[in-house]
């Protein structure tokens, strides 16, 4: 055989790996060059010609023609008498080219070539995956769920690259099965044991930011800037936006006509409540907006300690705190201030602390009411039963019984 044909031996790498022609040729040349150096020495001269189309590879070994008694290294020089047997016109000092044939390689050497080629291609693939996704950190990708485990989900992208969505990066109400389509943001890319590990996230604020860029053209174009985002994934999010064009209402643009733009984002986030507010450098106003939908009566801001005292009517306190305390917690994170909520003093003079009713109301019910800011009798009574059921984890029957007990306190 005059040539080494690689079609049967290596064609699967050309067919199934995402490697361009030039790269494949370079890898083949490097692999054979390393083997030739090992076989013939570092100073040996070779030409390696690869034809990817038909799988042919030709190797030519060059030696200098010297006097018959001047050969010092057979890998570098050839006696004149041997050279003219091939071509009578050869002269001393010229290069003698000889094709290296498959038979010149032993079985172990052929096996070594294949192993080295596999190794180089895998290394190239891993390096490519790492570079591709390292540049894609912070971008949304769409993939297919391939495997669902207790602690993570294995996702495949459109090139069958494996991506990982840990349980900690999933929205609590997320539920996926094999074959489902999934959207997430590339959160982190690491190398572990020389393998690229691509971590996805659906809980990152960046995911929400990218969703707004996809749904709101003004955000994508930079006409509206997202100043800050805070989230309790699956529960509530607050996003502060600002427009540099007075003609554009940033909140209205982000929400869309009848909520058309934000509805798609809310669905993607499993019905996470999203408050979009206007950013401002006026700290008091910013905190007031961040506590939406609650309305405040007055506010005292201490910039030295980054604390704010907010005063409001009793019926607004539970709104400010929100179910599970999420609203006030997120408002604090959004503004960077520790927010303390107080009821207006003039409305609380005849009120009764709800803890005083622990002989009639179970403590777990009292704790649930306190968690939404209802820590006095009147703060509970000022809310409709349906609203209390909605904000707490209590049954309507329980709520009605609590209201009956509290009302009895104020009966003359």
Q: Three-state SS string across 99-128, please?
A: EECHHHCCHHHHHHHHHHHHHHHHHHHHHH
Q: What is the mean pLDDT of the chain?
A: 85
Q: Which helix (H) or strand (E) holds 22?
A: helix 21-40
Q: What confidence score (pLDDT) does residue 330 get? A: 95
CA 287, CA 295: separation in Å to the nearest integer? Answer: 11
What are the tens digits of pLDDT across the range 268-287?
999 999 999 999 999 999 99
Q: What percent of the chain has pLDDT over 70?
A: 90
Measured distance CA(364)–CA(24) in Å, rounded: 68
Listing DSSP states for 268-303 in one string gives HTTS-EEEEEE--S-HHHHHHHHTTTS--SEEEEET
CB 241 within 8 A of CB 254: yes
Mean per-residue pLDDT, 10-37? 67
Q: How far is CA 255 from the centre of its chain?
A: 25
Yes or no: say if 240 and 334 are a contact pair by the CB < 8 Å rule.
Answer: yes
Q: Which residue has the higher pLDDT, 228 or 23?
A: 228
Give the count of alpha carbons within 13 A of 22, CB side only.
0
Residue 138, token pair as written in the block:
């912070």
- Greater confidence (326 vs 69) lies with 326
Give pLDDT, residue 194.
84
Residue, of 411 and 248, whose pLDDT is higher: 248
- How many Cα atoms occupy the beta-carbon half-sphere of 127 within 13 Å? 7
pLDDT of 331 > 80? The answer is yes
Render 190-224 in DSSP notation, one character per residue.
EEETTEEEEEEESSSHHHHHHHHHHH-HHHHTTSE
pLDDT at 1: 38
**Of 41 and 249, the one with more pLDDT:** 249
Query: d(Cα 80, Cα 96) in Å, to the nearest integer?
Result: 10
- Name which of 52, 48, 9 is nearest 31 in CA terms: 48
Q: How many other C-beta atoms lie within 10 A of the C-beta of residue 111?
A: 11
pLDDT at residue number 43: 80
Whole-angstrom distance, CA of residue 312 vs CA of residue 339: 13
Paired sense of beta strands 56-66 and 95-100, if any: antiparallel
Predicted confidence (pLDDT) per residue in 71-127, tens digit: 888 878 888 888 888 888 888 888 888 887 766 676 777 777 777 777 777 788 888
How much of the chain is in helix, strand and coil states, percent to nearest 5? 40, 25, 30
pLDDT, mean of residues 381-403: 89
Residues 55 and 8: their CA atoms lie apart, in Å, by: 8
Instruction: Find tokens 């984002």 and name the residue.
Output: 265
And the tokens for 379?
């703060």
The answer to whether 399 and 393 are in contact (CB under 8 A) is no
| Mean pLDDT, residues 366-388 | 85
Give the mean model confidence (pLDDT) for residues 333-347: 82
Q: Is the pLDDT of residue 403 over 50?
A: yes
Q: What are 356's two structure tokens?
A: 């005083």
What is the three-class DSSP state of 325? helix
- Span 304-327, pLDDT tens digits: 899 999 988 877 888 888 888 899
Q: CA angle, 73 as apex, 72 and 74 as ends, to 5°?
A: 120
Residue 367 has pLDDT above 70, yes or no: yes
Residue 53: pLDDT band (50, 70, 90) is low
| pLDDT of 223 higher than 60 | yes
**Across 340-367, average pLDDT:** 78
Query: Is the confidence at residue 18, as pLDDT, over 70?
Result: no
pLDDT at 7 (0 to 100):
43
pTM attached to this predicted model: 0.67
Query: What pLDDT was estimated at residue 171?
Result: 95
| Mean pLDDT along residues 357-378 | 86
Grade residue 13 by pLDDT with cuts at 50, 70 and 90: low
């Amino acid at each position: 055989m005059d040539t080494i044909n690689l079609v049967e031996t290596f064609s699967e790498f050309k067919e199934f790996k995402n490697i361009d022609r030039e790269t494949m040729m370079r890898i083949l040349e490097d692999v054979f060059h390393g083997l030739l150096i090992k076989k013939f020495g570092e100073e040996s001269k070779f030409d390696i010609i690869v034809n990817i189309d038909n799988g042919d590879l030709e190797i030519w070994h060059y030696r200098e023609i010297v006097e018959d008694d001047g050969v010092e290294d057979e890998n570098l020089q050839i006696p004149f008498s041997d050279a003219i047997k091939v071509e009578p016109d050869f002269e001393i000092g010229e290069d003698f080219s000889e094709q290296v044939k498959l038979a010149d390689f032993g079985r172990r050497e052929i096996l070594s070539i294949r192993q080295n080629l596999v190794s180089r291609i895998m290394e190239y693939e891993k390096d490519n995956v790492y570079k591709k996704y390292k540049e894609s950190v912070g971008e949304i990708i769409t993939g297919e769920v391939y495997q669902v485990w207790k602690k993570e989900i294995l996702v495949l992208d459109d090139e069958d690259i494996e991506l990982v969505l840990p349980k900690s990066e999933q929205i609590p109400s997320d539920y996926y099965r094999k074959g489902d389509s999934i959207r997430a943001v590339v959160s982190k890319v690491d190398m572990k044991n020389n393998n690229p590990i691509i971590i996805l996230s659906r809980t990152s604020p960046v995911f929400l930011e990218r969703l707004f860029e996809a749904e709101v053209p003004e955000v994508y174009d930079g006409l509206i800037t997202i100043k800050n985002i805070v989230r309790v994934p699956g529960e509530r999010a607050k996003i502060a936006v600002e427009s540099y064009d007075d003609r554009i209402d940033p909140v209205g643009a982000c929400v869309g006509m009848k909520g058309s733009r934000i509805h798609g984002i809310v669905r993607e986030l499993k019905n996470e409540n999203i408050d979009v507010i206007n950013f401002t450098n006026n700290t008091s106003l910013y905190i007031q907006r961040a506590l939406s939908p609650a309305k405040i009566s007055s506010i005292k801001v201490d910039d030295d300690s980054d604390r704010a005292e907010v005063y409001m009517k009793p019926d607004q306190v539970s709104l400010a705190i929100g179910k599970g305390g999420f609203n006030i917690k997120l408002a604090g994170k959004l503004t960077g201030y520790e927010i303390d909520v107080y009821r207006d003093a003039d409305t609380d003079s005849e009120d009764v602390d709800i803890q005083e009713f622990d002989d009639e109301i179970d403590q777990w019910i009292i704790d649930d009411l306190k968690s939404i800011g209802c820590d006095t009798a009147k703060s509970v009574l000022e809310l409709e039963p349906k609203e209390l059921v909605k904000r707490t984890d209590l049954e309507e029957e329980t709520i009605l019984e609590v209201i009956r007990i509290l009302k009895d306190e104020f009966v003359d």
